[in-house]
Amino acid sequence: MSGPGAAWHLSVDAGTCIGSGMCAGIAPALFTLVDGVSVASPAPVAPDPAAVDAAESCPVEAIAVRDAADGHLVAPEP
């Protein structure tokens, strides 16, 4: 599979993250707290509803979930 939507790229804006831990609680396989800041899985991941939940739940919208192929923003919704 290599079409759009086949993989997602996760990112956390370290300057915005307040270390609430919400994302790591929702999607522990995808986000890890390191020194009080969330770090997203560096490799593209298979589309996972937990990633969307985490992005939507982040209180400061520090998380971006993008289509790895074209960069289209998957979550959070604007």
Q: Which stretch binds ligand SF4 (CB under 6 A): 2-10, 41-49, 55-63, 68-76?
A: 55-63
Query: Kindly report the CA angle at 52 between 14 and 27, in degrees rounded to 5?
Result: 70
Q: Which of 71, 68, 51 is nearest to 1 (CA)?
A: 68
**Binding of residue 18 to ligand SF4 (CB under 6 A):** yes
For the CB of residue 41, give the shortest distance to ligand SF4 in the complex, in Å. Answer: 13
* Neighbouring-strand partners of residue 73: 66
Q: Which stretch binds ligand SF4 (CB under 6 A): 1-9, 18-26, 45-53, 65-73?
A: 18-26
**Binding of residue 63 to ligand SF4 (CB under 6 A):** yes
